[in-house]
């Protein structure tokens, strides 16, 4: 597959487009969360639970991925369980820990809300070569690391 010619762009223009995409994503997450009767944090955590697939996350792993405290994760898991989206199961290798799994039967509304958008994104990715997708993947991975580091620094700041 040969890549398409892309318009030239500066880093500043790319950041501006990223800001627009992130802003739309935030609004979209709020809308989806409302439709599912969840908070955005709960929805974000549900996404990480689904992403884990056959390797269920521990509550601590989930807290780390979502960048929230383990105390906050307890509340998230309580709400996800009450809503029927996830359950906690004892970790087979360490009974003191729990693993979190999605309830497959309760996920139909989640899939129904996201599937059309993901189909559109799949079609968009079809316009890019494997090398271009590799660059995008690398950039998103590294940008997420930078965002995580920045968030940690923000949390360390004290207000006077």
Q: Mean pLDDT over residues 66-77, rounded?
A: 93
Alpha-carbon Rg of the chain, whole angstroms? 18
Question: pLDDT value at position 117?
Answer: 95
Residue 9 burial (10 A CB sphere; 0-12, 13-18, 19+): exposed
Residues 130, 118: Cα–Cα separation, whole Å? 18
C-alpha neighbours within 13 Å on the C-beta side of residue 27: 6
pTM of the full predicted structure? 0.85
Q: Mean pLDDT over residues 118-127, rounded?
A: 96
């Amino acid at each position: 597959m040969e890549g398409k010619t892309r318009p030239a762009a500066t880093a500043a223009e790319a950041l501006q487009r990223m800001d627009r995409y992130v802003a739309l994503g935030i609004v979209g997450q709020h809308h989806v969360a409302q439709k599912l009767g969840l908070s955005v944090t709960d929805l974000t955590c549900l996404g990480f639970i689904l992403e884990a697939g056959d390797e269920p996350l521990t509550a601590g792993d989930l807290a780390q991925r979502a960048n929230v405290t383990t105390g906050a994760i307890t509340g998230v898991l309580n709400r996800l369980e009450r809503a029927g989206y996830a359950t906690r199961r004892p970790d087979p290798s360490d009974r003191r820990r729990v693993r979190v799994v999605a309830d497959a039967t309760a996920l139909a509304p989640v899939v129904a809300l996201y599937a059309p958008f993901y189909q559109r994104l799949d079609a968009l990715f079809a316009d890019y070569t494997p090398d271009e997708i590799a660059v995008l993947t690398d950039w998103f991975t590294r940008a997420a690391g930078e965002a995580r580091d920045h968030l940690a620094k923000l949390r360390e700041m004290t207000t006077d």
